[in-house]
Structure 1
Amino acid sequence: MARAAQAKATEPDSTPVPQRLLATATRLFAEQGYDRTSVQEIVEAAGVTKGALYHYFGSKEDLLHEVYARVLRVQQERLDAVAGGDDPVEKRLRDAAADVVVTTIDHLDDASIFFRSMHHLSPEKNKQVRAERRRYHERFRALIEEGQKTGVFSTATPADLVVDYHFGSVHHLSTWYRPDGPLTPEELADHLADLLLRALRP
């Protein structure tokens, strides 16, 4: 039994190299900080060569960008599915507001790393990230505007301000949310979604 376990432990990692590099970089960035983590540390911990890293990502900066981009892609796909559904606009907005909370908590290390380290990105990469986030926020805002135009939501507060209000809470989750706290991700998501809906009720 012990020999079998030892043999398994020494087997090469079958995880595809890009995913292995990304997982390793995420762990090291979270533990040490982006600026204090070297490319050499990443490739050694991932068990690959520098050539492999540069083949898949080009640079350490590209790894940092991908840490956040992969989360945003998941959130964008889920928002597009919810927003394009047939449910009443109030339910679609509530589902979208709750989902972004849960998915952010599910990837809390990624969000924490990114917001702590995004200033290390080049102006070009920073612009790219902002454009990706803007697309998400615009789709979310469109739900609010749809409800305002049809009289379901109040027009007293501009849709842009409502979006900033909700995402301000979401973007700060990594600074205070704890998995061992009194609320599950779903319970917290319900509370924040309810706050958003209350702010919009006529």
Structure 2
Amino acid sequence: MSDLRETIIRTSLDLFDQNGFHGVTVKQIVQASNTSKGGFYHHFQSKDELLFVIHDTFITYVLKEAQAANVTHSSPIPKVQAIIQSFVHVFDLYKPHISVFYQESLYLKPEYEERIKGKRDEFKRMIFDVIQEGQKLGYFRKELPLEITGMAILGMVNWIYKWYRRDGTYTIDQIAEVFTDLVLHFLLPGKQDSEYFHHMLKVPFFYESE
């Protein structure tokens, strides 16, 4: 990514966050980015495409991380651990992008919205697939309904955007460890099995159960 393109994105994130998508013009973005309209349109066809890129950046990241976890690990336990870790970290890595996403996603053009939805659906499917794989192989509790379990994980992690602060009490690494711990503890069949897999895979739990 070119320096100017990154500058335009970073500047627009601040402007959209402060004034809303419709409260910002291309002229204002150009002026705040210290560039020209030619510089802007060299990288983005329109303000609408810029909004799409902001949305697409963090969704693409978390999807690629999930795909990498699926390839790297053969067992569903480290797979789900890696997916949760990267999913939590996205709320720190792309905090401004996500803030603008939740504020301005209604203004995405239909063609862009469809592309974003496609990636979000693919990530959701990957969460469901790893849970289902773990249940079939006997690693995860089979009595847990797949859809409820998958949506619980997605909802729990997605809510981070509402309360996470970089200057807060806990670092994103600590939060990621707690969330991984919580997910593994409710997925694994029982305390004895949980301790076994913890030992065998050296899962870095943030705290230990009594």
> Structure 1 CA distance, aligned partners of 2:72 and 2:145?
24
Deviation of 1:87 after TM superposition, in Å, equals: 4.8
TM-score when scaled to structure 2? 0.82
> Structure 1 CA distance, aligned partners of 2:7 and 2:15?
12
Aligned to 1:27: 14
Deviation of 1:196 after TM superposition, in Å, equals: 1.6
Deviation of 1:45 after TM superposition, in Å, equals: 1.0
> Structure 1 CA distance, aligned partners of 2:109 and 2:73?
41
Instruction: Report the secondary structure of 1:136's partner residue.
Output: helix
What are the ranges of 5 or more consecutive residues in structure 1 without an aligned counterpart? 1-14
Aligned to 1:53: 40
> Structure 1 CA distance, aligned partners of 2:103 and 2:170?
24
What are the ranges of 5 or more consecutive residues in structure 2 without an aligned counterpart? 190-210
> Structure 2 CA distance, aligned partners of 1:162 and 1:124?
31
Q: Which string of whole-angstrom CA distances, capped at 9 and with x for unpartnered residues, describes residues 122-145 of structure 1?
A: 222212211111112212221111
Over the residues paired in the alignment, what is the CA RMSD in angstroms? 1.7
TM-score when scaled to structure 1? 0.85
Letter in 1 for 2:10: A
1:76 aligns with 2:63: yes
Residues 116 and 188 of structure 1: is their aligned pair in 2 closer, same or farther, counting only changes over 3 Å?
same
Deviation of 1:184 after TM superposition, in Å, equals: 0.8
User: Which of 152, 160, 178 is matched with 2:165 structurally?
Assistant: 178
Number of residues of Structure 1 aligned to a counterpart in Structure 2: 188
Deviation of 1:42 after TM superposition, in Å, equals: 0.4
1:149 aligns with 2:126: no
Aligned to 1:38: 25
Letter in 2 for 1:126: E
Moved over 3 A (4+): none
1:119 aligns with 2:124: no
